[in-house]
Amino acid sequence: MRQLIFAAFFLSSICLHAQDTIPARMPTDSLTQAEQKSKNPTTAVLLSLPLPGLGQFYNEQYWKIPVFTGTCAVTAVLFFNNNADFNNTTVLYEKAVAEKANPAVIDRLFRQKEAYRDNRDLAAFVFATTYILAAVDAYVGAHLYSFDVDDDLSVNLGPTRSQILAMNFRLQL
């Protein structure tokens, strides 16, 4: 069985060549390789750290700016509102416990306090995650700024004119 698998991989790898021939017509770019625009990933991250979205501005990914900036702004407001409500409810809960108020009131205040704490912690988690994702996205966007996404990219597995014995792979989605 191992020999059969080895033979299959060996025969299928015979026809895999990166670039057998030089294309007849070279693409006519107005910019040479050295003149192509590129972005510095470090600069993108450093811009994204003070305000999420600045790194995306640097990378010219303008549609992402409101996503990162808006998410951070909304979660920051939610964090501070829930923190203030948590602090107020904690004071009321401690006051109700000290005065030995109705157990139903104490239980309700305790559940409210815990809900505000959970919501505050969730807002902080979403804020931190968005903040980190904005920096990572700026870094990756700067690296891939000059990446070619032309429609002429393709992979061809199969026999060529010079090689008759090969294995074909086809994936239908």
Q: Note the pLDDT tens digit of each residue in 42-55.
A: 888 888 888 888 88
pLDDT tens-digit readout, 104-162? 988 899 999 999 999 999 999 999 999 999 999 988 888 878 776 666 555 555 566 66
Assess if residue 71 is contained within a domain: yes
| Longest Cα–Cα distance in the chain | 93
Structure tokens at 60: 């010219």
CB burial class (10 A; 0-12, 13-18, 19+) of residue 67? middle
Q: How many structural domains are present in the chain?
A: 1
Q: Find the domain containing 91 and state its range.
A: 40-143
Assess if residue 122 is contained within a domain: yes
Q: How many residues does the chain have?
A: 173
Assess if residue 171 is contained within a domain: no
Assess if residue 152 is contained within a domain: no
Q: Which stretches of 99-156 are DSSP H helices?
A: 103-143
The answer, yes or no, to whether residue 11 has pLDDT greater than 50, is no
Task: Measure CA 33 to chain center.
Answer: 28
Assess if residue 19 is contained within a domain: no
